[in-house]
Amino acid sequence: MSNQLLSLQEYSTQAEELVNSIGIPSQPKVLMEVNKEINSPDASFSSVAEIISRDVSMSAKVLKVVNSAIFGLSENVDSIDRALAMMGLKNFNKIILTSSLREALGSFPGVEDFWSHSMAVATIAYYVAAKTGFQEPEQAYTAGLFHDCGVPYLAKKYKDYPELAEHALSVVHSDALSGATKSVIGVEDERYKTHHCAVGYVVAKSWNLSPAVHKSIWYHHYVHLNIHENDTVKKLSAILILSDYIGSHIHYIGGGNCPVEQEASWAESHPEVMAELQLQVMDIKDMREDLEEKIMNLT
């Protein structure tokens, strides 16, 4: 993204119109009920299982996510009770959120690439958050999961969008940082008078995600962090920007003995992210190598 500061107000009106015109459901009722239950002082596995089991399609989707490679369970789980017992309530929240977003977004051009990238960035963000001492890694997971959720809306609305989607999902292929070409945000804006960050921000708000999450989504292609006054937003933004890069790196460049110059050049163009997370170039390489196998196996 170019370095000019975008106006939230100006863009969100346009983005809201687009989101409303697509008519994708916002946060499902079952998710609200589960969240309420999980956060209540007397939350129990049985009460949460009872809420989910009432919704047959949600139950099936939850089990599909639980059994996917992301959670690396050694056995196949076939009931919500068992899934809860194995994952614990906090992890379970992540699963419900993932399943709900999948259900809400449905099918669209490029759906597979979208999900492999979103799941990867969510997983990486959780890992980076834990590594860098961010207090709420679950929040980082959510930001990673939703960060590109504007993409499906644009893909559903505009027939010519899929050719741009790959660039929207990738922060590696973009030449925008060097200023050689216009960023994907710039191109989206020119064509549609909005962009996937603004649309994602509106969607995240409509799902009642925390303000730190929707703000970090808005700025996930923006290299500067000093615009954020709030420390949580600043750190979460740094985690998301780095995770988006690592996810794209693994997907588009692959791993193995990838030369560290790649990471060094990214670090050079993101000094505020590096400083905020107190990282060196080799830390990023180590993290990427650590995550490679897990991310490659995601479906």
Give the x/- contact pattern for Fe ion in 190-229, rule: CB under 5 A: ----------------------------------------
Query: Residue 250 in contact with residue 199, Cβ under 8 Å?
Result: no
DSSP per position, 195-253? -HHHHHHHHHHHTT--HHHHHHHHTTT----TT--SHHHHHHHHHHHHHHHHHHIIIII
Q: How far is the CB of 232 from Fe ion (least distance, A)?
A: 21
**148 is a contact residue toward Fe ion (CB under 5 A):** yes
User: Could you tell me how far CA 237 lies from the centroid of its own chain?
Assistant: 11
d(CA 254, CA 260): 13
**244 is a contact residue toward Fe ion (CB under 5 A):** yes
d(CA 275, CA 141): 21
A 10 A CB-CB count for 288 gives: 22
Q: How far is the CB of 150 from Fe ion (least distance, A)?
A: 8
Using the contact rule CB under 5 A, the part of the chain among 11-19, 77-85, 144-152, 285-293 near Fe ion is 144-152
d(CA 124, CA 279): 15
Q: How far is the CB of 122 from Fe ion (least distance, A)?
A: 11
State which of positions 124-143 bind Fe ion (CB under 5 A): none
**189 is a contact residue toward Fe ion (CB under 5 A):** no
**188 is a contact residue toward Fe ion (CB under 5 A):** no
Q: Give CA angle at 139 (31, 197), nearest 5°.
A: 90
Closest to Fe ion by CB, 50 or 113: 113
Q: How far is the CB of 188 from Fe ion (least distance, A)?
A: 10
Closest to Fe ion by CB, 115 or 134: 115
Q: What is the largest CA-CA distance in the chain?
A: 56
State which of positions 24-53 bind Fe ion (CB under 5 A): none
Q: How far is the CB of 250 from Fe ion (least distance, A)?
A: 12
Q: Which residues bind Fe ion (CB under 5 A)?
A: 148, 244
